[in-house]
Chains A and B, each alone.
Chain A
Amino acid sequence: GAVVSQHPSWVICKSGTSVKIECRSLDFQATTMFWYRQFPKQSLMLMATSNEGSKATYEQGVEKDKFLINHASLTLSTLTVTSAHPEDSSFYICSASGATSGSWYEQFFGPGTRLTVL
């Protein structure tokens, strides 16, 4: 099946620093990538949708200047949390879908990145 990787899997940083998370589709071309955030005991919340080569579409309430998304190729999308604060500590998960993966809703999820901001 389609494989999506994320790096790093866990990151601890100081408040005020920026953190970049990478999401890669390893064996298929991802025309669309999604970024989610999940707080403990909460549901996955979609942050933004990105299509290769175009600007990401952010969900209401998600600051685009704080969460920078780049989808420069069909296999790589990055999420940069700028000037991270403790309230940004969460589990960030990306998913990818593409022509080879079937329907738009057949999203393949990365293993997630746990961000802890001190």
Chain B
Amino acid sequence: RKEVEQDPGPFNVPEGATVAFNCTYSNSASQSFFWYRQDCRKEPKLLMSVYSSGNEDGRFTAQLNRASQYISLLIRDSKLSDSATYLCVVGNQAGTALIFGKGTTLSVSS
């Protein structure tokens, strides 16, 4: 089983749609979780951290289920500018490195 697994997509949605991405991780001892965004041929950028209680930042909501080792990202009212690859990222057990998923590609069209 891969350390961090994501559905690669692509997800093709119209503007205004709500879209959800899922991610699973293999190491139950992982302590930190994030969603990064990566545009084509660019570096990844931190979108938001993910907390056990769930957290929201504008149109973006992240959830963590430790029992199922499952992380989700919900994007409401999609914008054209949301088109990108979304990377699920988990901190390793030692807290010394980040482990990246392959990413889920989102394409928002008008």
Contacts and interface: CB of A to CB of B under 8 A. Distances in A.
A and B form one complex: yes
A112 B43 contact: yes
Interface in B36-90: 41-46, 87
A36 B98 CA distance: 10
B42 A105 contact: no
A6 to B, nearest CB: 9
Nearest to A114: B41
Interface residues of B, number: 21
B87 A49 contact: no
A43 B101 contact: yes
A116 B43 CA distance: 18
B101 A111 contact: no
A100 to B, nearest CB: 16
Interface in A84-118: 91, 93, 95, 104-107, 109-112, 114
A112 B103 CA distance: 17
Contact of B42 (A34, A41, A106, A111): A111
| B34, B44, B45, B91 — most chain A CB neighbours (10 Å) | B44
Contacts of B91: 105
Given A41-B102, A44-B44, 17 more contacts: A43-B4, A43-B103, A44-B100, A46-B97, A46-B99, A49-B97, A104-B95, A105-B34, A105-B91, A105-B95, A106-B46, A107-B46, A109-B45, A111-B42, A111-B43, A112-B41, A112-B42
Interface of A: 34, 36, 41-46, 49, 91, 93, 95, 104-107, 109-112, 114
Interface of B: 4, 8, 32, 34, 41-46, 87, 91, 95-103
